[in-house]
């Protein structure tokens, strides 16, 4: 079934939704994006994603093509036009099209695209088994806090995981885990502390990470915001990832070695459950 895609003011059947070959998103990856989870036709953690979108725009001096109210209305309309019940909304803003030049055009007209992807997010068979990850060096650029569409290295990392028969990759820099190919990485140590890398330019400031930390505080799970090593992750009692569509998802194997007893950990599962309950209540 053909989706309805939003491109620069028009809602179009996906086959007719087109962007110029001169678009700077295409030529320079000069574009940022957001992914918002949808359950029951409602947006999860929308305010956080909207705030991060503004932050990414500002970091790259990209003009915002819409104000806050119009942006929310657009998210709601793309869900409605596609009859989306569960899945995600992908939004991308590029610096628009201009003759190829490394310097930004002086008066860019941004390209704004939104589309939906239907997929089950509440019920995920990987919750029962956990996912396996492989460790790879983090070879991305140094401003990972900006959510740009420069996703070639994360794609390569994912393909390395696939090549090794695993589900995903955890990236390592200077002997410390940064994050997963498209999610934040966390562990629970033997004493039940949640260890997560603090926010910096080295990782994306995950909206789900932030919400999971709130949930952890509510559940009385002690939190330590510090970077951890692959060795600590291998010795941890639990490991998990967070993202807009995976919520909190157990990691049960790292480089072929079982994490804890090799089964999804109770703290991870409790965080996932509490996160889902909290976010369904505030979904907009
Ligand atoms: N990825 N780190 C990276 C590198 C990511 O790409 C993502 C999200 C996250 C988690 O952020 P959040 O909790 O705000 O979704 C962390 C999205 C889902 C994607 O690229 O599809």
Q: Which tens digits make up the pLDDT trace of 9-47?
A: 999 999 999 999 999 999 999 999 999 999 999 999 999
Ligand 1, pocket-test mutation among 44, 184, 245, most atoms within 8 A of CB: 184
Report whether residue 149 contacts ligand 1, using a CB cutoff of 6 Å: no
Per-residue pLDDT, 145:
98
Q: State the distance from the centre of ligand 1 to the C-alpha of 147, rounded, in angstroms.
A: 8
Q: Is 85 helix (H, G, I), strand (E, B) or coil?
A: coil
Laid out side by side, the sheet with 10-13 consists of: 10-13, 4-7, 111-118, 87-94, 31-39, 42-43
Measured at the CA of 44, the angle between CA 40 and CA 124, to 5 degrees, comes to 65
Which residue's CA lies nearest to atom 16 of ligand 1? 183
Report whether residue 242 contacts ligand 1, using a CB cutoff of 6 Å: yes
Which residue's CA lies nearest to atom 11 of ligand 1? 206
Ligand 1, pocket-test mutation among 35, 91, 212, 214, most atoms within 8 A of CB: 35
Per-residue pLDDT, 136:
98
Per-residue pLDDT, 141:
98
Per-residue pLDDT, 1:
74
Q: pLDDT tens digits, residue range 219-257?
A: 999 999 999 999 999 999 999 999 999 999 999 999 999
Could you list the beta-strand ranges (E) of the chain: 4-7, 10-13, 31-39, 42-43, 87-94, 111-118, 131-137, 168-173, 176-180, 184-188, 194-196, 223-225, 238-243, 247-254, 257-258
Kindly state the helix (H) or strand (E) to which residue 233 belongs, with its residue range. helix 230-235
Residues of the chain where predicted confidence (pLDDT) is lower than 50:
none
Q: State the distance from the centre of ligand 1 to the C-alpha of 99, rounded, in angstroms.
A: 31
pTM above 0.95, yes or no: yes
Report whether residue 268 contacts ligand 1, using a CB cutoff of 6 Å: no
Q: At what angle do helices 207-219 and 46-59 cross, to 10 degrees?
A: 140
DSSP state of 14: G
Which residue's CA lies nearest to atom 19 of ligand 1? 182
d(CA 96, CA 186): 36
d(CA 262, CA 269): 14
Report whether residue 184 contacts ligand 1, using a CB cutoff of 6 Å: yes
Task: Indicate which residues carry an active-site annotation.
Answer: 147
Q: State the distance from the centre of ligand 1 to the C-alpha of 19, rounded, in angstroms.
A: 24
d(CA 252, CA 47): 31
Q: State the distance from the centre of ligand 1 to the C-alpha of 246, rounded, in angstroms.
A: 9
């Amino acid at each position: 079934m053909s989706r309805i895609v939003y491109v620069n003011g028009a809602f179009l059947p996906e086959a007719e939704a087109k962007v110029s070959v001169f678009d700077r998103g295409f030529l320079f990856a000069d574009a940022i994006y957001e992914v918002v989870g949808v359950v029951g036709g409602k947006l999860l953690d929308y305010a956080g994603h909207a705030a991060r979108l503004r932050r990414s725009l500002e970091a790259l001096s990209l003009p915002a093509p819409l104000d806050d109210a119009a942006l929310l209305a657009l998210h709601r309309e793309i869900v409605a036009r596609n009859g989306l019940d569960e899945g995600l909304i992908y939004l991308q803003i590029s610096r628009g099209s201009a003759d190829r030049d490394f310097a930004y055009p002086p008066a860019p007209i941004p390209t704004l695209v939104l589309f939906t992807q239907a997929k089950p997010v509440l019920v995920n068979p990987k919750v029962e088994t956990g996912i396996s990850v492989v460790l790879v060096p983090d070879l991305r650029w140094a401003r990972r806090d900006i959510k740009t569409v420069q996703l070639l290295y994360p794609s390569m990392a994912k393909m390395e995981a696939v090549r090794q028969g695993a589900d995903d990759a955890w990236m390592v820099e200077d002997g410390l885990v940064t994050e997963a190919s498209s999610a934040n990485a966390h562990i629970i140590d033997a004493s039940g502390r949640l260890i997560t890398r603090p926010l910096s330019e080295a990782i994306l400031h995950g909206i789900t990470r932030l919400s999971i930390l709130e949930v952890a505080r509510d559940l009385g799970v002690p939190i330590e915001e510090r970077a951890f090593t692959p060795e600590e992750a291998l010795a941890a009692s639990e490991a998990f990832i967070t993202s807009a569509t995976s919520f909190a998802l157990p990691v049960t194997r790292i480089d072929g070695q079982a994490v804890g007893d090799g089964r999804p950990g109770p703290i991870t599962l409790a965080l996932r459950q509490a996160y889902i309950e909290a976010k369904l209540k505030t979904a907009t």
